[in-house]
A and B are shown apart, each in its own frame.
Chain A
Amino acid sequence: MDILKFLTAGSVDDGKSTLIGRMLYDTESILQDQLEAIQNSSRKNDDGSIDLAILTDGLKAEREQGITIDVAYKYFQTEKRKFIIADTPGHIQYTRNMVTGASNADLAIILIDARKGVIEQTIRHSYLVSLLALEHVVVCVNKMDMVDYSEEVFEKIHADYHSLAVKLNLHEVTFIPVSALKGDNIVNNSLNMPWYKGKSLLDHLETVPVREMDALLPARFPVQWVIRPQTEELHDYRGYAGRVASGAFKVGDTIKVLPSGMRSKIAKIETFDGEHAIAEEGKSITMHLEDEIDISRGDMISEAERQPIVSNLIEADICWMDTRELDTSATYFIQHNSKLTRCKIQEILYKVNINTLEKVNADAFGLNDIGRVEIKTADELAFDPYETNKRNGGAIIIDSRTNVTVGALMLRAAL
């Protein structure tokens, strides 16, 4: 059985949590004691019916305020597929938590309130989905019950979002009119909207193709840990432990260790369960090389042929996630796979005006700003452009004073 990871996004109160609750409820995925707990909860809809949003709004503060603050992960399964859901907050203050949920998802459900149409936060979330390069987007025009299930309203929003999608380079976009509250087109096709001929949301989620592992990508293996038992029997044992980030490695392959550039051959690939001839993307393995070379955590083992970019001057897209503004004179940490080094964000090339999508000059770069920067790192990074290889193109910025993750980076090129 395959698995689809998706998130809900869109502006505050557009109905994301209600939609997830509705989907779980209508697929009978809610267990009895959990249902009772919701029924007994003090938070109810205006008409006294149970509020399905509290299935994911699990924190006290969320229930009190009726908003989502942080991502909730939910797991469910139908006969066709397993799903991992990230229900993310719409409130602009918590955009960083939406980014967290989106970074590991294959598909984004973007909700739009039928009464409000495309608004700034819809654009911001869509922009982030495009930056993070999620494969699929589903636009759910929600609260159709509040606009008399009007086809006209739906078509207008459809057209508006379509032109946004073109500007943002979002390819796979599907549009569905829904009412999360009433259940229209969530699991079952709606009787209130006979003019809509497409699939229900669940039907779409069950059938959309999920990304297959891409064995043709260049092989990358960031070293996390060196296994050296140093016992008498295993005196010379030296295994490089890590997870294959992309592509495939075979025993006998010539590899290059970066950034040092030393070459060797793969002598053995093993796991606890035995030896393997090949290790593909996603596998956690231990690699042995023919030559004794100095390799430690943070180094990257790459196929010798197609190498990643190795540089300490990097251009990247950045999403800033801290209330303290980006400081071009400060030293930060940058973490890229298992590599941690110091860096400076030397220059802000531009900032994106979310409403117009224009690139504007920026002296200041604050919370939720998105733009492009130039970074200088202390040690060289061995990376691929994010758009060609997600698994080796993302990095985070850590504030060295607070230790908090303050920036998400999509690495693009060496300077």
Chain B
Amino acid sequence: MDYLDQLEAEAIAILREVAGQFEKPALLFSGGKDSITLVKLAEKAFRPGKFPFPLVHIDTGHNFPETIEFRDKLVAQLGEKLIVGYVQDSIDQGKVIEQTGKNASRNALQTVTLLDTILEGKFDACIGGARRDEEKARAKERIFSVRDEFGQWDPKRQRPELWNIYNGKIHKGENVRVFPISNWTELDVWNYIKRENIELPSVYFAHERDVIMRNGQWMAASEYLNMDEEDIIIRKKVRFRTVGDMTCTAAVESDKDQIDDIILEISQSKISERGARMDDKVSEAAMEDRKKGGYF
């Protein structure tokens, strides 16, 4: 079996373990390439049957419009159920307070919406597309990662995880985050997308866009980004290497609109994928802190 086949077979087996071990799982779908890959893997795991879980999207309201459009089309094609949790609802309910200032982002707020959505749906397992090569705290995480009643990850108390035996036993109120593509690298995902001919939102490919320079990075100009006179809008050919909120995902200058060229560009890049994520740069342990608080 070649390398991608091995990764695929492992991910399918993990998804089937989720189906077998949990009462009410959910697949967290962000509209990014990793969760789109997860959906493909779920098809491979469960067709011709239905998915034993709905897709759950936490909508910050600050998404790229292309991602939402893509999401709705994909869900319609799949014939599966989609549940959306809105950060705007959490704001309206007074559960979170919108950040202000130039670097305002809803990224941190979505944890609250996520935890509420998990509670409301009574989900006992949430499948996510995080990979260990993304970030140093993620490099430490188990494939089945237990969260307490408050959604918290405790890196010091992770369960041993041996061979391909995953322990999904939990107490009421706890849930498990499951990461089937833990062992995939960014390039593995791209190579798989190419091999399987998986469709992606257009923002992943080079396109003309209005951008402004922020902290040394190109950010998409949008109504969600707080801009002032100092910000100069420039039109550039860019693409996105990772897709989160418009306010925290930076673009890379690129004229590559074909997957082969993108794969080549990434393999030659000197910057990591999450180098384009403002949300990771807040502090040395930004991701660890967010994960402890219940983040994806």
Contacts and interface: CB of A to CB of B under 8 A. Distances in A.
Interface of A: 1-3, 31-34, 37, 41, 55-56, 58-61, 63, 69-75, 82, 84, 96-97, 99-100, 103-104, 213, 224-225, 227-229, 234, 237, 241-243, 271-273, 280, 282-284, 297, 321, 333, 335-338, 390-391, 394-396, 398, 403-405, 408
B275 A272 contact: no
Among A41, A337, A390, A403, the most chain B Cβ lie within 10 Å of the Cβ of A403
Nearest to B13: A243
Interface string B157-174: 011111111010111000
A408 B46 CA distance: 30
Interface stretch (B3-11, B97-105, B107-115, B122-130): B3-11
Given A58-B288, A229-B50, A403 B171 contact: yes
B155 A73 contact: no
Nearest to A94: B156
27 contacts: A3-B6, A56-B136, A69-B156, A70-B158, A74-B133, A100-B161, A227-B48, A229-B50, A234-B48, A243-B9, A243-B164, A271-B44, A272-B44, A273-B44, A283-B1, A284-B12, A284-B45, A338-B20, A391-B163, A394-B163, A395-B165, A398-B167, A403-B167, A404-B159, A405-B159, A405-B162, A408-B160
A74 B133 CA distance: 6
A104 B284 CA distance: 30
Nearest to A59: B155
Interface stretch (B61-69, B254-262, B265-273): B265-273
Nearest to A57: B136
A74 B160 contact: no
A272 B162 CA distance: 28
B94 interface: no
Contacts of B1: 213, 280, 282-283
B3 A1 contact: yes
B84 to A, nearest CB: 26
Contact of A225 (B16, B50, B160): B16
A280 B5 CA distance: 12
Nearest to A407: B160
Nearest to B188: A75
Contacts of A272: 43-44, 47
The secondary-structure label for the interface of chain A is mixed
A408 B288 contact: no
Interface in B18-33: 19-20
Given A58-B139, A224-B20, A405-B159, A284 B48 contact: no
Interface of B: 1, 3, 5-6, 8-10, 12-13, 16-17, 19-20, 43-50, 132-133, 135-137, 139-140, 142, 155-156, 158-165, 167, 169-171, 182-183, 185, 269-272, 275, 284-285, 288
A41 B13 contact: no
B161 A237 contact: no
B6 to A, nearest CB: 6
Contact of B155 (A61, A234, A391, A405): A61
B275 A337 contact: no
A97 B160 contact: yes
B136 A72 contact: yes
A64 B127 CA distance: 31
Given A282-B6, A398-B167, A224 B13 contact: yes
A130 B223 CA distance: 60
A74 B155 contact: no
B171 to A, nearest CB: 6
A22 to B, nearest CB: 17
Contact of A405 (B44, B135, B167, B183): B167
Contact of B8 (A97, A224, A284, A336): A284
- The 4 lowest CB-CB distance pairs between A and B, nearest first, are A58-B136, A284-B12, A33-B275, A403-B169
A396 B137 contact: no
Contact of B183 (A73, A100, A337): A73
Among A41, A69, A82, A243, the most chain B Cβ lie within 10 Å of the Cβ of A243
Given A33-B271, A103-B163, A337-B165, A242 B16 contact: yes
Contacts of A55: 136
A227 B49 contact: yes
Contacts of A3: 3, 6
A372 to B, nearest CB: 18
A284 B288 CA distance: 33
B46 A396 contact: no
B275 A31 contact: yes
Given A73-B132, A227-B49, A37 B160 contact: no
Contacts of B45: 241, 284
Contacts of B271: 31-33
